[in-house]
Amino acid sequence: MIVLGCNDVRVDFGTTVALDGVSLSWEEAGAIHAVAGQNGAGKTTLCRVLAGLIRAERGEVIIEGTAYPATAQGRRREGVELVHQTFALPPQFTVAEALQLFRPGTARGGLFQRGRMERRWADQLEELGFTVSPKVLIRDLAPEQQQAVEITRALSSGSRVIVLDEPTAVLPPEAIAGLFDRLRALAAQGITFLVVMHKLRQVRELAGTVAVLAGGKVVLPPTAMGTIDDDEIARLIMGASSEQVVTGASAVAMGLADAPEGLTGATASGNATSVESGGLPGRDQRDTSEAAVLRVQDVSVSSVEGRRGLRSFSVEVFPGEIVGIAGVEGNGQQALVDVVVGLLAPREGRVVLGGADASGLRIAARRRLGLRYIPADRQSRAVSLSSSLWVNAMAAPVSSGYGVSGVVRRGFLSERRLRKRGEERLQRWQVRYAASDQAMRELSGGNLQRVVLAREVDDDARVIVAEQPTQGLDLGGTELVWEALRRARRQGVGVLLVSSDLDELFALSDRIVVILDGERVEELRPPYDRTMLGHAMVVGAAS
Amino acid sequence: MNWRNGLGSVGRSGVALLVGLALAAITFQAGGFSAGGTASGVVTGAITGPGSLALTLRYALPLAFIAIGVVVSFRGGFFNAGAQGQFYAGGIVSLYVGLTLPTSLGGPIVAMLAILAGAVAGMVWSILPGLLRVYFNVNEVIGTLMFSFIAEYLVTYVAVGPLKSSAGAGQVAVTTSVPNAVRVTPASGIGIGVVLGVLLVGAAVWWLLRRTRFGFEIALIGRNPVMAEVQGVEIRQIGLATFAITGFTAGLGGAIEILGPLGSISSGYDPNIGLTAILVALVGVLAVGGVLVAALVFGGLTAASLYLPIATGLPSTSLVFLTGLVSFVVTAKVGWGRWSQGLAQRVRGGPRPGHRGDEVPVPSGAPPDADERQRGTPAASPGSVGTPV
């Protein structure tokens, strides 16, 4: 009998296909099954479809042998419960109230009987082995306790199948073992778990079978863990993703592979497993006593919901060097960028810019030290869509106070000269525009990124933090950004390149530092090996 | 500002104003009053009647003071809605100083000191909720409005308490009047000094917005606070400064009102000027020139509200209704721009917010306040007014 499964499920979000004809089935009850995949692979969508929380375009869902159409409009399905990635309990309720919500029993004449309710849930929680008082408010609970309440709630519905979406993402490391023990104990009682996880080590520790999704498709049907090794799973997770991410960027890389690259020397072969790269000839003989332009030293940042922190993370960027940061998205890259840029104060550790401790410096001061930032989120972080082009081009120089001598004096500025200065920048980067006072929102994506480059890749730059700099750009745009970063490198700028496009990392990076769960797990040098990188990104350091 | 776009927004403001007036006319007509009579009554009361223009100017001046300062906050995306309270604070403190300092110092000097003290008081009254806003992320609309309520009760306290006039005035408690030597205008409320003061403050704010780094940064914050922060703008400092400026000019308005036409404060004094000034700022498309014109329009409406009951039998509160309608339409006008943007986005086929696929990376680094502001401001978010600066 199929305990849980789906058949030819397709889910669209607007023009994005989240799930594309997904068919999966798990037959062993009382077991723990895992689904792995990169961000955006469709894992959470799958969970929601299985639980009946969202409507599919087509397909069916199978629960304990019964098939249901997956196209029913957002109706909760009996028999299967979902424990969300981020908790969905009302924070101002007590544990007992949250559990009781929408459940029959203990209410008489529409009124709750607090005492009875609390006793009932105290028993239930204890039975499941959770040490949580039913009288405590949800918001006062530790993450693992909230999760315990969620699991209790899911089980109290009588469901025998529980779907857990990234249950370890919100837990502190020391709580993970406890969760795993609990799940194993419950599985032994006949509960079937489907667990979404992206860390292979945890999949191996917990699950009996693993299935892999990539780009909304099944690339590995449920397979017993004993019959497949980590490298193979990692290759499926990463390999498929690189095909998916092989966008314009990679095509350019491949096209450029034949062209003599001269100084930059960055080449990327079409061979999917081994890609050569390199910086300046003789890079390995770089004088390491030379001061790093950027030094991130033992930085720790706490994890918060939606953003993983860092654990004693260190990385150095030397002049004339591009250091790539590789990792499955959501492993601390955001925190790293924010700490370097100055948007986030680390709990421990420091950031040194060109020899000066910048940890306590505000963004403007860091920019005056030559720090530049090309954000991934262009529309909200990089540009102001309703402001004019020249304002966008001159925003950081004016606000942070560099490169505007003769235009801004003691806080007074000449709008005319400022605009002229902005136009010079725009023209140097060949931004196509009708008038420099037209609104930013009128520009296309590639043209918009040119404005960002015009502002961030200037003569005063010493360190450039480039975050997904070619995401969503076409061939020409990608080429432009790559050339800009390479030119900056030639001029002695240090670049910290955070990218989820492996081909981009291979094509540009002199070194690649791998980040996993907020930790630095590996540093790779050319020639790069895709399998090795994939392994490091998902499993950790090669032992 | 691109002059053509600028003209466009001024035009839209004008249209909004006319639509509001037309709606009011229809309502008055339906209520049994003559719309035509009302219209001519407004014109007579505001412009053509004997002394009407003077009255219009008298009401326009304090409005202009306040609205010019409101422009600064609104351009920065800080919805400082407490001009009323800042106006009160300025009035109370200037009255106190005007009554306390000996006139032997010289009337004009006392007046200057009193005005300055009033302006600083308004500034303090604005900075307090400003601090709550920038350090504790307390919604500035609520904070500033709360401070307005506090100031309102302070007015009553002052009138019935410490500064109460022994002469009394029947049912209403009134404070002692400032000596004539300290008054900045006669009871008519019009003085060349006050007119020059408005122009001076207007010029200063215009210059601040267009010719300083500070003004550049205000515009950046108002349009995209997240981007502004990444560029190195100190959002807290700049935000506080906008609160200070708005409070300063509102306090100035209060001081001049008390030291000018009124001379004293009575309990229950409620000129409803703070919210009208916000309206003036919006109708004036958050530009200093536009605000000066809008202040005259609304000053005229206030003047007409005194005349209308005599001319047409309309209750004087009908003008409250009228300004309410106009504010409704003007606010809707601000919404029009937003709506059309949203429409354009939909036509382009971009993803709609709130309808994302799963696991789409969500920018998490945006400071919560910025995000909050983009979603949470009332419809009249100043960021969407006007054109690229």
Give the pLDDT confidence score for residue A280 in this predicted structure: 42
Considering only A251-265, A401-415, B72-86, B165-179, which range has the smallest mean pLDDT? Answer: A251-265
Examine the pLDDT at B76 and tell me if it is beyond 60: yes
Residue A71's pLDDT is 81
Judged by a CB distance cut-off of 8 A, whether residue B375 touches chain A is no
- Region B233-245: what's the mean pLDDT? 95
Report yes or no: A218 and A23 within 8 Å, Cβ to Cβ.
yes
Per CB-CB distance under 8 Å, the chain A contacts of B372 are none
Is the pLDDT at B261 greater than 60? The verdict is yes
For testing contact with chain B, the best of A17, A43, A353, A381 (most B CBs within 10 A): A381
pLDDT band for position B339 (cuts 50, 70, 90):
very low
pLDDT at A250: 37
The pLDDT of residue A454 is: 94
Asked whether the beta carbons of residue A16 and residue B364 sit closer than 8 angstroms, the reply is no
Intervals of CATH 3.40.50.300 along chain A: 4-244, 247-370+461-538
> What is the pLDDT averaged over residues B309-334?
75
Which tops the pLDDT comparison, A1 or B388?
A: A1
Closest CA relative to residue B11, chosen from B215, B361, B214, B284: B284
Mean pLDDT of chain B, nearest integer? 79
Of A48, A307, A437, the CB nearest to B2: A437
**pLDDT value for B220:** 94
Q: What is the pLDDT of residue A373?
A: 97
Q: What is the mean predicted confidence (pLDDT) over B194-210?
A: 94
The pLDDT confidence band at residue B7, using thresholds 50, 70 and 90, is low
- Residues B230, A381: C-beta atoms closer than 8 Å: yes
Return the residue of A nearest to B356 by Cα. Answer: A13
List the 383-402 stretch of A: residues with Cβ below 8 A of B: 383-388, 391, 395-396, 398-401
Sheet holding A217-224, edge to edge: A80-83, A161-165, A192-196, A32-36, A209-214, A217-224
Strands A463-467 and A371-374: parallel
Best mean pLDDT range from A40-54, A179-193, B157-171, B264-278 = A179-193
* Least confident window among A369-378, A494-503, B259-268, B378-387: B378-387
pLDDT digits (tens, 9 = 90+) for A288-323: 556 899 999 999 998 887 678 899 999 999 999 999
B100 touches chain A (CB under 8 A): no
Q: How large a percentage of chain B has pLDDT more than 70?
A: 81
pLDDT, tens digit (0-9, with 9 covering 90-100), for A17-70? 889 999 999 999 899 999 988 766 888 889 988 988 888 889 999 988 888 888
In this predicted structure, the answer to whether residue A336 has a pLDDT above a threshold of 90 is: yes
- Higher per-residue confidence, B357 vs B244: B244
Residue A86 has pLDDT above 70, yes or no: no
Q: What is the pLDDT of residue A274?
A: 36
CB pairs below 8 Å between A and B: how many?
Answer: 150
Residue B225 at interface with chain A, using a CB cutoff of 8 Å? no
Confidence of residue A159 (pLDDT cuts 50, 70, 90): confident
Chain A stretch 434-493, residues whose beta carbon is closer than 8 A to a beta carbon of chain B: 435, 437-440
**Interchain contact, A412 vs B223, CB within 8 Å:** no
pLDDT of residue B169: 56
Q: What are phi and psi of A53, to 5 degrees?
A: -85, -25
The pLDDT value recorded for residue A197 is: 82
- Three-state SS for A200-256 is HHHHHHHCCEEEEEECCEEEEEEEEHHHCCHHHHHHHHHHHHHHHHCCHHHHHHHHH
Structure tokens, B158:
């002052």
Q: Which CATH number fits domain A247-370+461-538: 3.40.50.300, 2.40.40.20, 3.40.50.2300, 3.30.565.10?
A: 3.40.50.300
The residue of chain B nearest to residue A456, with distances taken between CA atoms, is B231
Mean pLDDT over A88-107 rounds to 77
> Is A272 or A104 the better-scoring residue by pLDDT?
A104
* Interface contact flag, B388 A388, Cβ < 8 Å: yes
Query: Is the confidence at residue B354, as pLDDT, over 90?
Result: no
Measure in Å the smallest separation between the Cα of A153 and chain B Cα atoms.
24
pLDDT of residue B379: 35
DSSP secondary structure, B185-232, as one string: S-TT---HHHHHHHHHHHHHHHHHHHHBHHHHHHHHHHH-HHHHHHHT
Q: Which one has a higher pLDDT value, A118 or B318?
A: A118
> When comparing pLDDT for B115 and B274, which is higher?
B115
Cα angle B258, B259, B265 (rounded to 5 degrees) comes to 30
Contact residues, chain A, for B226 at CB < 8 Å: 380-381
Average pLDDT, chain A: 82
Q: What one-character-per-residue DSSP string does A27-59 give?
A: --SS-EEEEE--TTSSHHHHHHHHHTSS--SEE
User: Tens digits of per-residue pLDDT, A521-533?
Assistant: 999 998 888 888 8
Q: How far apart are CA A25 and CA A192, in angstroms?
A: 13
Q: Which of B213, B351, B364 sits opposite A306 (nearest CB)?
A: B364
pLDDT confidence of A426, banded at 50, 70, 90?
very high
The pLDDT score that the predictor gives to residue A74 is 52
Start-end of H helices in chain B: 3-30, 35-43, 52-75, 83-100, 107-136, 140-160, 192-211, 213-223, 225-231, 235-257, 273-283, 288-312, 318-348, 368-376
User: Which residue do the tokens 């003989």 mark?
Assistant: A285
Q: What is the CATH number of domain B3-349+363-384?
A: 1.10.3470
In B, minimum Cα distance to A368 occurs at B232
Under the banding of pLDDT at 50, 70 and 90, the label for residue A76 is low
* pLDDT for A216: 87
Per-residue pLDDT reduced to its tens digit, A242-259: 443 333 333 333 333 333
Nearest partner of A446 among A483, A419, A471, A421, judged by Cα:
A471
Interchain contact B360–A (C-beta under 8 A): yes
Q: For A4-244, which CATH class?
A: alpha beta
Mean pLDDT value of segment A452-478: 88
Q: Do B357 and A411 touch (CB under 8 A)?
A: no
pLDDT at B381 exceeding the cut of 80: no
Quick one: pLDDT band at residue B355, thresholds 50, 70, 90? very low
Q: What is the pLDDT at residue B374?
A: 38
Calpha distance B98→B255 (Å, rounded)? 10
Name the least confident of A78-92, A228-242, A328-342: A228-242
Summarised one tens digit per residue, pLDDT across range B287-303 is 899 899 999 988 988 88
